[in-house]
Structure 1
Amino acid sequence: MFAIMLALASMTVHAADRECGLRPADGERLRNLVQNLVERGHAPGVVIDVRCDGRPWLQAAVGLSDVARSRPMQLDSLFRIYSMTKPLTSLLVMMLAEEGRLSIDDPVARYLPEFSMATVHNGSAMFPPETVPPQRPVTVRDLLRHTAGLTYISAQPDPVSRMYVQRGIDHGGGNQIVPADGGPAIESLADLSQRIAAIPMLAQPGSRYSYGSATDVLGRMVEVVMGRRLRDAMAEKLLKPLAMQDTSFQPAPEQLNRLTASYLAPALAPRGTGLFFRVDMKTVAPSSFSLADDPAHSVFAARRVADFGGAGLVSTAADYQRFLWMMLRRGEVDGVRLVRRDTVAAMTHNQIDAPALRDTILEQSGMGFGLGFATFESPEGAPAALPLDGYFWGGAASTYFWVDPGRGITGVLMTQVFGGDVGPYFAELLDTLYRPPPKFKTQPLPTSY
């Protein structure tokens, strides 16, 4: 159990309910929530940052960023945000589409020729996987909404997952994955894309939501279209215009003293079926943590062979809020428009039809998926009270964000725990702000995309 340190904590609450509908009592409950998260031993430390129309409303840093060195968590602590990288890479692709440098309905093979030979698993249990031809080419849109039939390396027994293990398909987490077939590890994003393209897709393009390496392939496509490394392309078009000075694929030496430690923990809370779920966390035993990545010797500080567009960024809560503020402003920030309003609308509305969502974790969570973001669709099936028209995503080490366009709220919750029991606290956070569920009229989806 870790001592509480409310490091650089501040709380500013707007006096008028009309300002985002946030109340002082909500702020007290959220501050207690993050304190409980640390006091009960379910995370060594955490940062929460909630804003109303871009203005800080609640900012708090609690606990430790590095247990071994007794470093207090700070508001500017650096976190490995893993899959919270995906929305930025997706937006970068949409910016290129606006510029006419690609179309999201183009075949992926137009930019990555290796996908011209793609095949589809026929559903049998045979290994190597038996295949059939694709009914249509995989498109950029399929990659953006995870309907390209790609997956992540895992211990699943199906033949396609076994092929990912055989070929050592790196998921961008930082630790080098050794292929089970004895071949070399991934050497570049080009190598990653070629290996993925040579493995059968899980399903026919567009027919099934399957979460995986699609955004890493998008990152490679950006490199091809722009003729430079993904880190340089993202810095030029997104990070610098948004003044996201603490967000990168590799922290600068002077930033490393702010990099948190990351930890592994077993999941002890009863598991729900959705992306996150409600649990009375007072009844759940403290987590036992083991070190996953020491900031003094972090894989994120070393030279990496590839910039993984699906999982490679390091950021701070405040930096990520710059991105969310631009999204809330529907593509404009500080008087500069980065993308069109209809582009943001298309990205943040569900783009997957019901058959492709059936029996997926998204459907079980009352959600859909846009072009880089999970969308809130069905309050009745949701694991927590959610804002209609809202969208969110998270990262593998228990980082989360959400955007509520109806009330002008953006929020970030950051810690660094793989596995463990942080998810129910995020559900409680949303319940605190949105119970009973708000009633906002859903905006129509633009037709331009």
Structure 2
Amino acid sequence: MTSRGTRLRQRRSGWPALASFALAALLAGCAAAPEAPAGAHQARDFAALDRFVRREMEAAGVPGLAIAVLRDGRIVHQGAYGVKHAANREPVTPDTLFEAASLSKPVFAAFVVLQAEQGLLDLDRPLYRYLPHPDLAGDPRHRRLTARMVLAHASGLPNWRQDTGGELKFLFEPGTRFGYSGEAYEYLKDVLKHLLGVDDAGLQARLEADVFGPIGAPSMRYTWDASIPARKAYGHRGGTPTDNHRHDDGFGASYTLHATASDYARFLAMLARPGRDRAPAVARLLAIQRDLPHEEGELHRSLGFPVKATARGLRYYHAGNNGDFRAYCHLYPGRGDGVVLFGNADNLFSSGLAQRILERLEEPWFYM
């Protein structure tokens, strides 16, 4: 029987095609993102947004959606729309968990960079010096692969080994080209587990202590547990609920994160307003990797996000596709403005719904 995680890896793409005590001390000043009370005009604006989203969801046939909006590093709106399951009609609420899909990657990237800031690993030291990969050790290119290359998607590895007939192998010299890779993130996860001396559950516990707790998002989880099912939305394909309510029990750095939209917005808020103690690590995470290749159409990549130049400044963004779940986020770090969209359907992007919502949120009146 094919596992849930294997099915995900077979179909997933990213864009539609944080040492222990020392690290905890680093984040000790990280308060949860404040939620700003809306002024009268802003409340009217968000009421109009809610009406717009509900109308457009119905037209697009998207069952459930959650939105969180950041302004100046504060959550100013949380929207929950539609249903968790098209048949039983249980409503989506602000506490509903969605699969964050490839939005898992920036959170894990932040964890890695924070570990590097504390000296656990060197982003530019070849990963094999920490932990050789058993499937790659025979290829000399393995000795050139670094964490920085992995985080910037220049590893040379395929997205998933299923893409190369089930064999994990290099497609090009590490560091020479852009190539989106979930497999590379999973190798880096194994390196972190080795260096920290933990298993999957221990890695999840480390993120809870060092990241999720300090930002006020304790329900964010990479590993499955009994707290998830009652809160989680079901995925849908063609408007029909699927049986994919549970991913693998293990920790998938590139795709298994569960979160609410506001949980994820709190992570973005930490990046936008990190505070003095955390600013160096966040600056390192968001620094544009000018010496590494990038995907056509991007300004460059940071360690975890693609980056585009816009009229409003640099936009850091990411999309996620777990088949029957879709996700998107972006952040303007200088402004502290951002948005998170989580949907429980395969057509959040293809229907144009996500684009229409994002265009609405980018309209000038929305920033008055």
Same fold (TM over 0.5): yes
One-letter code aligned to 1:329: R
Which residue of 164, 184, 209 maps to 1:162?
164
Which residue of 176, 181, 197 maps to 1:212?
181
Distance of aligned partners of 1:421 and 1:392 in 2 relative to their CA distance in 1, 3 Å threshold: closer
Distance of aligned partners of 1:11 and 1:41 in 2 relative to their CA distance in 1, 3 Å threshold: farther
One-letter code aligned to 2:154: T
Bigger Rg, which one? 1
Q: Is the 8 A contact 1:262 1:416 kept in 2?
A: yes
Encode CA deviations 1:217-271: one digit per residue, 9 max, x unaligned: 221111011001222222232122223221112454344221100112xxxxxxx
* Whole-Å separation in 2 of the counterparts to 1:83 and 1:54: 23
Distance of aligned partners of 1:404 and 1:261 in 2 relative to their CA distance in 1, 3 Å threshold: same
Query: SS in structure 1 opposite 2:233?
Result: coil
Matched ranges for 1:140-159 at <5 A: 140-153=147-160
Shift of 1:88: 1.4
One-letter code aligned to 1:204: E
Partner in structure 1 of residue 355 of structure 2: 427
Query: SS in structure 1 opposite 2:281?
Result: helix
Shift of 1:42: 3.2
Distance of aligned partners of 1:57 and 1:239 in 2 relative to their CA distance in 1, 3 Å threshold: closer
Of Structure 1 and Structure 2, which has the larger fraction of its residues in helix?
A: 2
Partner in structure 2 of residue 371 of structure 1: 303
Q: Which runs of 5+ in 1 are unaligned?
A: 1-9, 17-22, 120-132, 156-160, 168-198, 265-287, 380-385, 437-449
Query: SS in structure 2 opposite 1:114?
Result: coil
One-letter code aligned to 1:208: R
Partner in structure 1 of residue 104 of structure 2: 85
Partner in structure 1 of residue 283 of structure 2: 345
What's the C-alpha RMSD, in Å, of the aligned pairs? Answer: 3.0
Q: Is the 8 A contact 2:156 2:172 kept in 1?
A: yes
Q: Which runs of 5+ in 2 are unaligned?
A: 1-34
Partner in structure 2 of residue 191 of structure 1: none
TM-score when normalising by structure 2: 0.78
Which residue of 231, 238, 256 maps to 1:258?
231
* Whole-Å separation in 2 of the counterparts to 1:224 and 1:415: 34
Q: Is the 8 A contact 1:349 1:389 kept in 2?
A: no
Question: How many residues are matched?
Answer: 323
Shift of 1:144: 0.9
The structure whose RCO (Cα within 8 Å, separation 6+) is larger is 2
One-letter code aligned to 2:169: P
Encode CA deviations 1:272-292: one digit per residue, 9 max, x unaligned: xxxxxxxxxxxxxxxx32333
Matched ranges for 1:34-183 at <5 A: 34-114=53-133, 117=137, 119=139, 133-134=140-141, 137-153=144-160, 161-163=163-165, 166-167=166-167
Shift of 1:316: 0.7
Partner in structure 1 of residue 219 of structure 2: 246
Percent sequence identity over aligned pairs: 26
Matched ranges for 1:300-315 at <5 A: 300=247, 304=249, 306-315=250-259
One-letter code aligned to 1:145: A
Matched ranges for 1:404-415 at <5 A: 404-415=332-343
Distance of aligned partners of 1:426 and 1:38 in 2 relative to their CA distance in 1, 3 Å threshold: closer
One-letter code aligned to 1:84: L
Query: SS in structure 2 opposite 1:65?
Result: coil
* Whole-Å separation in 2 of the counterparts to 1:107 and 1:421: 37
